[in-house]
Amino acid sequence: MDIQVWTFIIVGLTFALYIAIAIWSKASSTKDFYVAGGGVSPLANGMATAADWMSAASFISMAGLISFAGRDGSKFLMGWTGGYVLLALMLAPYLRKFGKFTVPDFIGDRYYSKTARIVAVVCALFVSFTYVAGQMRGVGVVFSRFLEVDINIGVIIGMVIVFFYAVLGGMKGITYTQVAQYCVLIFAFMVPAIFISIQMTNNPIPQLGFGDTLSGEQGVYLLDKLDGLSTQLGFNAYTNGSMSTIDLFMYTAALMFGTAGLPHVIVRFFTVPKVRDARKSAGYALALIAILYTTAPAVAAFARTNLINTVHNSEYATTTPEWFKKWEDSGLMAWIDKNGDGKVQMAAGPAFEGKKIEFEGERRESNGERVVANTPTANANELYVDRDIMVLANPEIAQLPNWVIALVAAGGLAAALSTAAGLLLVISSSVSHDLLKKTFMPNITEREELLYARLAAAGAVIVAGLFGIYPPDYVAAVVALAFGLAASSFFPAIFLGIFDKRTNMKGAVSGMIVGISFTMIYILIFKFGVGFESVKAAKPYQLFGISPEGIGTIGMILNFAVAIVVSRMTEVPPQEIQDMVEDIRIPRGAKGPDHIH
């Protein structure tokens, strides 16, 4: 059977499963809708958290990024896992004891202020919308490449599925579909990784395989081989870094603290029955995430080695592999024969000028390659590869069976849909709970609130779909903003709310505003070049050698400093707030959210 038939079968089966779960787990109260009734087992919550967290970026893009960045790619690996230690030790248990529905709930109550709540809602909405745009686009890309349907129809199919289980089931529906999606995505990621690891090193465990010797060459370690190939072609050695230490440090820290401050991750810990379950389920979540995150660097090294071995110096008309031409057709790979020898040469540096590759329609060069409209650069590199295809193309590069390739498509969809659903829930609860019930329409009944929650979720699905169909071309860039903002706003406010009784409303609000403004302004100037054309032109455009993705760390430190100093200079928080802080530090007596109402 060919790839397309396999993909239809496997994707169809997984979608049917998600819909069946949605019907079975319909939400009947706001507690069901916001926190799945508060009765999810720690293991199930761990799996749901893992699926929620691992997005299209983790599944599709990350290994490809590492593949081209080598050791510098470690920032993603450590940055996107290390935050869970912060969550488990510093935030999750206490927020569970606090026992309400949303992150703005905590900020608003702890700092006894509607202003603080609204600042938190705005941050939560911004972070979540930024994120969800990328997910819907990921869904569209997978559909168009593997099922050859139009990218927009792909996005609409994705919207309908998410609509079904997010709007009907709320957090309850989302949780149990995420459990299923975790299983699909981890299976889909591991199967090709294991196959390729055996092929290349005779070692069935990818985590060990990429430190093992090659099966083809006696006694040569894979990483040494890859270092050799890389330096031969003029790249950095794969296992050496080129980023400055301070930049790598700040970048990694921003991702870690950003992770711990992301509302769609935090809210998952409101769904377990007890405080001890919150700690335990953070452990399960990270263990389950680590399966993918320790495999990804192995996949990255395998893919890079395979790419160089099969493509470099291959003759386009005869020996260049078939998959190369398929990806060229979808516009994600390109070749220009700079030296006119008919062979594909790889070297350091970009092959073409400009960020986006443009083709001259379907016009072909003499060897049969597509003609690129971009100006070629002066260096020897002739190959353009989109980072995102490394995971998707990897099974084809390694010539694995068609069903494995179809499985990867289903896995990519599971990763994108599960994250999108989690984000949509944050958006809907921010609107119906924090803005309507708690701020503007305090008199609505629970039934009405549930209705508004569903309407908000439906509205959010449509907006997310529109983002997918008409993607703002800065999607990738704004993700930096999402992490930076989460790190510089939520993390300090929540941390101080638990660990420092003295932090008051004025301190927390001014801290959040300073942290966010600093981070936002830095990113606008140094990432987008707003207001300073000269800054944008002078690359690397940054202060203290810190890239815009890492500036959230500095924003966070500023937030902490301002919050602590301002609090010390102004009034002590009211006694009942101090009692509340005492109370959340002790596990005993954790109640479900509805006891507090």
Partner 1 sequence: MKDLSKYWRTNLRYMLILMSIWFVVSFGCGILFVDQLDTIRIGGFKLGFWFAQQGAIYVFVALIFVYVYLMNKLDKAYEVDE
Query: What residue ranges bind partner 1 (CB under 8 A)?
Result: 66, 71, 73-74, 77-78, 81-82, 84-85, 88-90, 93, 207, 210-213, 221-224, 239, 241, 245, 248-249, 252-253, 256, 274-276, 279-280, 282-283, 286-287, 290, 293-294, 297, 582, 585-590
Residues ≥6 apart with Cβ < 8 Å to 565: 507
276 burial level (CB within 10 Å; 0-12, 13-18, 19+) = middle
Q: Output the smallest distance, CB 134 to partner 1, in A.
A: 23
Residues ≥6 apart with Cβ < 8 Å to 341: none
What sign results for the dihedral spanned by CA atoms 230, 395, 58, 325? positive
- Nearer to partner 1 (CB atom), residue 70 or residue 548: 70
- Nearer to partner 1 (CB atom), residue 183 or residue 291: 291
Residues comprising the chain, all counted: 597
Give the whole-angstrom CA distance, residue 88 versus residue 536: 39
Q: Which amino acid is at 457?
A: A
Give 198's DSSP letter.
H
Q: Output the smallest distance, CB 83 to partner 1, in A.
A: 9
- Nearer to partner 1 (CB atom), residue 45 or residue 252: 252
- Cα–Cα nearest to 133, from 441, 462, 446: 462
The tokens for 455 are 């309407």
What are the φ and ψ backbone dihedral angles of 26, each rounded to 5 degrees? -65, 140
Q: Output the smallest distance, CB 222 to partner 1, in A.
A: 6
Q: Output the smallest distance, CB 208 to partner 1, in A.
A: 8
- Nearer to partner 1 (CB atom), residue 82 or residue 465: 82
- Nearer to partner 1 (CB atom), residue 147 or residue 300: 300
- Nearer to partner 1 (CB atom), residue 211 or residue 349: 211
Q: Output the smallest distance, CB 400 to partner 1, in A.
A: 24
Q: CA torsion angle for 396, 401, 406, 407 (degrees, to 10)?
A: -110
- Nearer to partner 1 (CB atom), residue 248 or residue 478: 248
Q: Output the smallest distance, CB 387 to partner 1, in A.
A: 17
- Nearer to partner 1 (CB atom), residue 185 or residue 243: 243
Q: Output the smallest distance, CB 239 to partner 1, in A.
A: 5
Residues ≥6 apart with Cβ < 8 Å to 353: 374, 375, 376, 377
The tokens for 420 are 């999108």
The tokens for 313 are 């110096």
- Nearer to partner 1 (CB atom), residue 465 or residue 492: 492
Give the whole-angstrom CA distance, residue 468 versus residue 253: 29
The answer to whether 366 and 402 have CB atoms below 8 angstroms apart is no
DSSP line for 23-73:
HHT---SHHHHHHGGG---HHHHHHHHHHHHS-HIIIIIHHHHHHHHGGGG
- Nearer to partner 1 (CB atom), residue 588 or residue 595: 588
In angstroms, how far apart are the furthest CA atoms of the chain? 80
First and final CA of the chain: distance in angstroms? 57
Give the whole-angstrom CA distance, residue 389 versus residue 400: 16
The tokens for 293 are 């995150």
Q: Output the smallest distance, CB 537 to partner 1, in A.
A: 30
Q: Output the smallest distance, CB 224 to partner 1, in A.
A: 7
Residue linked to tokens 């935090």: 266
Q: Output the smallest distance, CB 30 to partner 1, in A.
A: 24
Q: CA torsion angle for 92, 97, 101, 107 (degrees, to 10)?
A: -80
Separation of CA 377 from chain center:
32
What are the φ and ψ backbone dihedral angles of 363, each rounded to 5 degrees? -60, 140
- Nearer to partner 1 (CB atom), residue 60 or residue 256: 256
- Nearer to partner 1 (CB atom), residue 82 or residue 140: 82
Q: Output the smallest distance, CB 392 to partner 1, in A.
A: 21
Q: Output the smallest distance, CB 50 to partner 1, in A.
A: 12
